[in-house]
Structures are given as structure tokens and as C-alpha cells.
Amino acid sequence: MPLRHAYSLLRVPETAPALAAAQLTALKLQVPLLYVILTINSGALAYTHFGVAPTGLVVVPVLLLGAVCLARTWTWTRLDLAALPPDCYAPLLRQTNRLCALLGPAFLAWSLALAQYGDEIAHFHVFFYVAITTIACVFCLMHLRSAALIVAVCVIVPFVGFALVQQQAILKAIAVNQLLVGGVMVFILFVYYRDFTRLVGQNEKLEALGAENLRLAATDMLTGLPNRRSFFPALDAAIRCTETGGDGFTLAIIDLDGFKGVNDSHGHVAGDRVLEEVAERLKAVVPRGSTLARLGGDEFALIIVHRGRDDDLEVQCRSIIAAVSRPFACDGLNARIGASIGCARYVEAGTTAAQLVERADFALYEAKAHHRGTWVMFAHEHETRMRLQGAIEHALRHADLAAELSLVFQPMVDVGQQRTVAFEALARWHSPELGLVSPDRFIPVAERVGLINELTQILLAKALRVMATWPAHVGLSFNLSMADITAPEAVGRLCALIKASGVDPSRLQLEATETAMIDDFAQAQAGLARLKALGVSLSLDDFGTGYSSLAYVHRLPVDKLKIDRSFTQGLMEHDSARKIIRSILELSRSLKLDCVVEGVETHEQAALLQALGCRTMQGYLFHRPMAPEAIGPYLRREDVGTSALDDTRFSRRRA
């Protein structure tokens, strides 16, 4: 058993790759130094014995052994540990052990052969050479205990035995000293090697913990997908791969439609289950070789590598949308959502990660604004539109909004009483930089960059001041953005502004689109309830254009529905438009809500709408939007008895 234990001390462990890697790292620095010491010391010994001992004994061994030392030094300095597979670690260390077992005795035999020649000083030099060189070699090999012990056993033991049989007392004393020093070195070697192996083990655990922490930091904990932190390095890697001749790719950003409604209706636990299921569905349909990640919230990103025809991308996007759109039913949850996708192709849309993300985001915005439930590829016309929006954003951020924003007002007419009951305030912006910018261009930009609350405050204050000059029976209709009704701070500022205006809140009608409310229903419901408590009336604008109108309208504290102009435009040509308007009017009556039809432009439309039961209308047939100073004369003409439906009046105002 002791012999087996002793033998194990001279072997390289087979099952410790981390220890072997650390040993090779240390030896790569120290073994070349060992060979340099051997070469220099051996050259010095040969120099002092040249002409004293036989030339062949002096020169030939030192040249051969020196050549071996130089070759091994070159090998170690050229060794690339980073490229070395782990299964090569142990063979290299075993090779070091074998070389120690060969070179140690070889250098010792050569030096002791020289000790037979010369005087006492030459003998002393040989002994000094062996002792000092052995100590240096053992310390250079301390990280590989087996090699250091081999040198100690193969050199010190024979050397001490040889010295003890010499006649000179000083050589015997050197032998005793060498034995003591060797014993201390071996003790230090064991202590150092124990601490070294413990440190390597601790580092291995820390590296494993660090690797696990990095994995966790790069993983979305809910879905198990890569997260935003790890996705962008993957996007950079895809760009580099394509630049060096790899396959091209398209960046797709996926956003869930109606997910907030799931959270609001079923709670966040149910929302988390939906996100987990969405992740599983996406993993099942995304093409092999693609990179899928969750960027946060209900937004996912996908790097789709091009493998075939151009129309493959459309097939892949449609399969993703179809997978997400299937009903979710588990643990009593019954929900349905959709997905919109914005795509940006490398290099057509951009050559950097930032450009691709920006353009994919823009394409996603276009999909959600105009083509919900489908996919949009970023194209040249989007680039033009994005640059225009960038210019609008820059101008908005540097604008004197209080001075540059203005309002026009369009009448809402009760056709039964033939009189105007309210005016809708419509925003206008005249920019010194860009000129007159239409609201359908600057309002979405203001919403996207977070300036819409400031615009709303300025415009509502202006509208309330104008309204204060109107007769008491004429009301004001004012449009709110999603950010105005879903942010508690913004709602609080609106309430304070209305109270400070001094107008009767019952004359004020606040409008919000159904899409704005549905996107964040719980906050919208709370915000509208606060506004309703002031006494204002609430209107659901563009009714019928969303996909969840009937599911939500009865849960909102609204007083009025506004039928979108898109239905009015097809009223005379399409029976389906008439049926939709009739259904909305019947819904309004059953819910005891008022109803306004927008976009009325012809007498035929007005007559048909009146026959369907609509009383309040708005559109160019009655009047185009007018400046505040034109409202007074307009109302006075109405008061003197000119009918709101007089053909001559309509034709004059449309001219």
C-alpha cells in the first residue's frame, strides 16, 4: 500500500482537466526558464573543465544536452494552450515527467564524470553545480509535483550517495546539506502543491458559478429564451458572419396584439402562462438555424437566416402569426391574441445592429398602426417616411409649442333640430422649419417620443379658452391620446386644467380611440373614471375599426360612440357598410348612448343616415374646420334661421 501511494505521487492525474490546464499554464512560463538555467550552468561547468577533463567528455555531452534544452524551450514557447484540446493535457504532462526522469540522471552522470578530473576547486564546482541547479529545477517544476519529485529522487539521492563516499570532509558536508535542503524542498513542495490544487478547485467552482451566472444573465427567466442582453451580441455575430461570406439574414421583431387585455382580464399570472406558451409555439415554428429571443414584455425578436427562396420569409412570418393567433386554453384560461411583425433585411435595410433594430421597429410600428395581425418588411418608402418622422421629431423637440400650435373647429350638427350642438377641436401645427404639418403626421410622432401629454395640455387650454366665448348650449369635443388616459399623472393634470378653466364640465366631451383604450384597458378605465367624475362626457372615437369594440364598450364609462368615416364613405355603394352603421346605432340605443357619424359629405348620405336613425352628424356637408374667429359669425347665421340642411348653404360652404 505505501509503495502504491508512493507510485501515485509520481503520476499525472487523469481526471482533473482543470488542474492539468492550470499546471500547463504555469509550466509554459517556468519550464523555458528551467532549460535556460540548465544550459547556462552546464556551459559554465564545461568552461571550467575545458582542458582539464578530456575534450570529448566536456564538449560532446554539453552540446547534446544543450541542444535538447533549446529544442524543448522552443517547443514550450510555441505551445498554444488556448487551441489545445483538454484530452492533450495529461499526455503533455506525462511527457514532462519522462523527460525529467531522463535528463535529470543524464546531467548528473555527466557532471559526476567531470568530478574525476581537476583539483579540489574543480570538484567543489561540480558539487555546487549539482546542488544549485537541482534546487532551481525543483522550484521551476513545483506546479507539477510528480515531475519535481522525479528530479529530487533521480538527482539528489544518487548525488548524496556519491558525495558521502568521497574522501574529502567538505564534500560529505555538502552532501548532508543537500540532503537537508532536499528534504525541506520536498516538504515545501507538498504544502505548496496542496494549496495550489485547492486554489485551482476553488477557481474551477467560481468559473462554473460564473458561467452559470452568465447563462442566467443571458436568459429570460420566464420563457427560457435568450434575453435582450444576449440577443444583440448574436445580432452582431450574424452581421460578421454575413460579411465574411455566410448566409444573409432578416431581423424580425414580433409584438403581441391584445396581450394587455389578457393581463387586465385574467391577471398577470395568466399573462405569464400565455407568454410561456407563446415562446413554446415560436420555438416550434421558427426555422432551424434562427435565433429567437424575448426582448421584454410582449416583444420577441428573431434572426431568420436565408436558406432558400425570397418567399420563404413570408411563409415563415405567416406561420408565426398563425401559431400565436391560436386560442390559449389552459387552467380555465380562455384567451385569444394576435401578433404583428416588423422585418428588416440585411443589408438592404441597414448594415449595423442599431440600424436594423431601428428599421425593424419602424416596420413593426407600421404593421400595428395599419396592418395589425400581419407582417411588414421595411422598404424604401418606409425609409422616406422615417426620415420625415425624424425631421418632425427634431422640429417638435425644438418647437415653441405654445406659439406654433393652433386649433380649428368643425361643427357637429343635430339634423333633427337643424342646429350645431358642439364643435370638435382639431390640432394644427405650423412649424418654422417644416411649414404646415398635418396632425396625422405630427400626433403619432409626439406619441412615440413622449411629447403628446405636453401637446394635449397646450391644445386643451386653448380650446377651453375659445369655448368660454360660445353660447351655453354649444359643447366642445376634444381628442385625447392613449398616453393622456393611461398615465395617472397626465389624467391628474387634465383634471386640474378643466377645473381651473371655469367652464361647465358638462359642455366638454373628451374623445379617445377604442384602440388606445384596448391597448391598456385597466389604466384607460381608471383614467376615464376620474375624468367622468368631473362631469365631462366621454366618447369612443373611430368606433368599429378595432377588433374588440363590442367586448369592451359596455365596460367603459362612455356616453357616446363616433362611427368612423370609413363606413360613411362606403355607405351608398356597399350594403355591408349600411348594415354595420345600423348595428352600431342599435347598439347605441340599447346601451343608451348617443351616436355621431363622421365624414358626411353628401345630402344622400345625410338622408340615408337620418333614415337609419342617426341624429348627430359631422362632415364637410355641414362645414369644413374653421378658425376660432369664424365660429361667432357661423353661430349667428344659424340663429337667424338658416337651415343646417339648406342645399344652398351646403353648396356655398363646400365651394
- Grid cell 353660447 is found at 471
* 486-496 confidence digits (pLDDT tens): 889 999 999 99
* 140-183 confidence digits (pLDDT tens): 888 888 888 888 888 888 888 887 877 777 777 877 887 888 78
CA 652 to chain centroid: 58
Question: CATH for 400-654?
Answer: 3.20.20.450
pLDDT tier at 650, thresholds 50, 70, 90: very low
For 466, the grid coordinates are 375659445
Question: CATH for 228-378?
Answer: 3.30.70.270
Phi-psi region of 377 (alpha: psi -120 to 50; beta: other; left: phi over 0): beta
For 285, the grid coordinates are 415554428
* 294-317 confidence digits (pLDDT tens): 998 899 999 998 865 556 888 899
Could you tell me the CA-to-CA distances from 101 to 105, 108, 147, 152, 615 in Å, in that order? 7, 11, 8, 10, 108
What pLDDT was estimated at residue 513?
77
Query: For the chain, which residues make up each domain, given as ranges?
Result: 2-211, 228-378, 400-654
Q: Is 343 helix (H, G, I), strand (E, B) or coil?
A: strand
For 392, the grid coordinates are 418632425
* 174-229 confidence digits (pLDDT tens): 778 878 887 888 888 788 777 777 776 676 665 555 555 566 677 888 898 999 88
- The residue type of 223 is T
Task: Please return the burial class of 407, using the count of CB atoms within 10 Å of its CB with bins 0-12, 13-18 and 19+.
Answer: buried
pTM of the full structure: 0.61
pLDDT tier at 653, thresholds 50, 70, 90: very low
For 531, the grid coordinates are 375624468
DSSP collapsed to 3 states, 604-638: HHHHHHHHHCCCEEECCCCCCCECHHHHHHHHHHH
* 243-276 confidence digits (pLDDT tens): 887 778 999 999 998 887 787 777 788 888 999 9
Helices (H), 286-379: 312-325, 353-370
What pLDDT was estimated at residue 206?
54
* 32-55 confidence digits (pLDDT tens): 998 899 999 999 989 998 888 898
Helices (H), 218-328: 228-243, 259-266, 268-285, 312-325
Query: Identical fold at 228-378 and 400-654?
Result: no
User: What does the CA dihedral 193, 194, 200, 202 come to, rounded to 10 degrees?
Assistant: -160
* 513-555 confidence digits (pLDDT tens): 766 666 667 788 889 999 999 999 999 887 766 544 555 677 7
